[in-house]
């Protein structure tokens, strides 16, 4: 049931069904794939019955009002098929895991371009110095999946050599499949199998780290887990995936958010006409300017031939930091945008450190009366150049 009248600022979605393994994960996955933000949730799964209540908004914090979206959500939640998901048919799936390093993705996509592989979709995650990626490709010339065994061996071998680098001989892994899977669900499984959580973080993190506590309630036969952290898109999906991979079942849960968003780095969105080698060129520009890609979402919007003279469109999202994992210098971001295309590469999100700097550090005066420009003024100017604030005076 979908209700837009009961709450003033959210759309309420209620799911009642017989309890089955994995039903919570599938319900959250459907909402995640629709890019809705879950503001509150109440989950109850006792006995043989399952009931979930989700309070959701769109990415702008508004209720869901589009009839097509509402009907799709209702249909999808009402006909959940476990294990089925948005996948990519007629494409070859490449799965990569290894040690992350600056410029690695640039090398990966350069190899694929050299091997005449057209990257259609991809998602890339990094964590604790490890990288996992699922890349969907097709042959550049034929537009068909890559099925030739010798070509597949060449792709796997070249990518494995790139992932190994100088010091990752044992843990670098590549595989090729024609299967259809949910990409982000698969990335969770790959990271868990890689045991990235056991490795020591190499990137610097802010002081407000997540707080996780676990208490055992023996009288009820439950363990109670409390999580307190900054909110972000797909957070609940990530939590449920992690618990599922660890073979835990959620019986009761309450989720509440206070609107405090967390960003994984500077978010850059690239939208431009697709062409052969585009992704490799963009990633090389990032590498040459010392930008490290911590997360990426690659997609291609296809146009029917003869109907759209502009051809296919690349729509890519990159989260970037500097080489040490710190916030990227805004001047470097501007330089990269100029090289790639100011109208094509847009800054969509900035870590809170930039916004905090604009709220403090007003200009101060030295003993001689000269104005000393503060960090806040410099940041405001850069934010203005990026189009994220209206003025910096």
Domain membership of residue 361 (yes or no) is no
Residues 191 and 62 grouped into a single domain: no
Residue 388 has pLDDT above 60, yes or no: no
Residues 188 and 318 grouped into a single domain: yes
Residue 372 has pLDDT above 50, yes or no: no
Residue 177: the pLDDT is 82
What CATH number did the domain enclosing 140 receive?
3.30.70.260
- Between 375 and 70, name the one with better pLDDT: 70
Give mean pLDDT, residues 112-128: 93
Residues 253 and 155 grouped into a single domain: no
Residues 100 and 137 grouped into a single domain: yes
Domain membership of residue 294 (yes or no) is yes
Residue 93: the pLDDT is 93
pLDDT single digits (tens) 46-71: 778 888 999 999 988 899 999 999 99
Domain membership of residue 374 (yes or no) is yes
Residue 367 has pLDDT above 50, yes or no: no
Token code pair at residue 145 = 């999946």
Residues 189 and 269 grouped into a single domain: yes
The answer to whether 357 touches 389, Cβ cutoff 8 Å, is: no
Ramachandran bin of 344, using left for φ above 0, alpha for ψ from -120 to 50, beta for the remaining angles: alpha
Residue 308: the pLDDT is 45
Residues 162 and 187 grouped into a single domain: yes
Residue 80: the pLDDT is 65
Cα dihedral across residues 49, 53, 59, 65: positive or negative: positive
- Between 266 and 166, name the one with better pLDDT: 266
Residues 252 and 297 grouped into a single domain: no
DSSP calls for 225-286: EEEE--B-TTHHHHHHHHHHHTT----EEEEE--S-B--SSEEEEEEEE--TTHHHHHHHHH
Residues 134 and 187 grouped into a single domain: yes
Give mean pLDDT, residues 74-79: 84
Residue 113 has pLDDT above 80, yes or no: yes
> Which of 6-10, 130-134, 169-173, 371-375 is predicted least confidently?
371-375
pLDDT single digits (tens) 216-235: 988 888 899 999 888 888 89
Domain membership of residue 290 (yes or no) is yes
Domain membership of residue 23 (yes or no) is yes
Residue 379: the pLDDT is 47
- Between 364 and 293, name the one with better pLDDT: 293
Q: What pTM, to 2 d.p., does this model score?
A: 0.79
Structural domain span for residue 144 = 93-195+263-354
Largest separation between any pair of C-alpha atoms in the chain? 77
Give mean pLDDT, residues 155-171: 82
pLDDT single digits (tens) 235-287: 999 999 999 999 998 989 999 987 666 666 899 999 999 998 999 999 999 99
Residues 183 and 249 grouped into a single domain: no
Give mean pLDDT, residues 275-300: 94
What CATH number did the domain enclosing 40 receive?
3.40.1020
Residue 364: the pLDDT is 42
Number of domain units in the chain: 2
Residue 141 has pLDDT above 60, yes or no: yes
Token code pair at residue 41 = 């949730």
Residues 178 and 102 grouped into a single domain: yes
Domain membership of residue 360 (yes or no) is no
Residue 79 has pLDDT above 90, yes or no: no
Residues 280 and 183 grouped into a single domain: yes
In whole angstroms, what is the distance from residue 391 CA to residue 338 CA?
Answer: 21
In whole angstroms, what is the distance from residue 314 CA to residue 178 CA?
Answer: 23
Domain membership of residue 206 (yes or no) is no
Domain membership of residue 134 (yes or no) is yes
The answer to whether 254 touches 74, Cβ cutoff 8 Å, is: no
Residues 183 and 310 grouped into a single domain: yes
Residue 381 has pLDDT above 60, yes or no: no
Cα dihedral across residues 264, 179, 152, 117: positive or negative: negative
Residue 154: the pLDDT is 94
State the residue for tokens 């010392």. 290
Q: What dihedral angle (degrees, nearest 10) is formed by the CA atoms of 225, 228, 229, 232?
A: 70
């Amino acid at each position: 049931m979908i209700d837009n009248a009961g709450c003033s600022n959210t759309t309420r979605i209620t799911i009642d069904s017989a309890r089955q393994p994995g039903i919570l994960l599938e319900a959250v996955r459907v909402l995640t794939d629709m890019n809705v933000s879950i503001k509150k949730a109440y989950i109850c799964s006792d006995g043989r019955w399952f009931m979930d209540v989700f309070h959701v908004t769109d990415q702008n914090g508004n209720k869901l009002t589009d009839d097509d979206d509402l009907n799709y959500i209702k249909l999808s939640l009402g006909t959940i098929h476990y294990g089925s998901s948005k996948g990519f048919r007629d494409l070859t799936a490449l799965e990569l895991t290894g040690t992350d390093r600056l410029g690695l993705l640039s090398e990966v996509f350069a190899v694929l371009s050299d091997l005449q592989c057209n990257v259609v979709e991809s998602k890339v995650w990094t964590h604790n110095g490890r990288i996992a990626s699922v890349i969907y490709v097709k042959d550049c010339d034929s537009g068909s999946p890559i099925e030739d065994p010798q070509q597949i061996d060449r792709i796997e071998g070249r990518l494995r050599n790139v992932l190994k680098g100088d010091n990752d001989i044992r843990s670098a892994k590549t595989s090729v499949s024609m299967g259809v899977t949910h990409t982000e669900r698969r990335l969770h499984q790959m990271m868990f199998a890689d045991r990235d959580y056991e490795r020591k973080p190499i990137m610097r993190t802010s002081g407000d780290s997540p707080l996780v506590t676990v208490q055992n309630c023996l009288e009820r036969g439950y363990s109670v887990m409390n999580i307190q952290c900054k909110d972000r898109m797909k957070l609940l999906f990530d939590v449920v995936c992690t618990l599922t991979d660890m073979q835990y079942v959620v019986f009761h849960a309450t989720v509440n958010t206070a609107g405090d968003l967390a960003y994984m780095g500077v978010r850059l969105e690239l939208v431009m006409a697709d062409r052969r080698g585009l992704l490799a060129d963009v990633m090389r520009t990032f590498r040459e300017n010392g930008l490290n890609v911590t997360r990426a979402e690659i997609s291609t919007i296809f146009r029917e031939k003869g109907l759209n003279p502009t051809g296919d469109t690349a729509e890519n999202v990159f989260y970037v930091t500097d080489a040490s994992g710190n916030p990227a210098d805004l001047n470097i971001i501007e330089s990269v945008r100029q090289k790639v295309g100011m109208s094509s590469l847009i800054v969509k999100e900035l870590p809170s450190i930039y916004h905090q700097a604009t709220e403090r550090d007003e200009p101060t005066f030295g003993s001689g009366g000269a104005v000393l420009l503060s960090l806040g003024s410099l940041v405001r100017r850069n934010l203005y150049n990026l189009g994220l604030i209206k003025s910096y005076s």
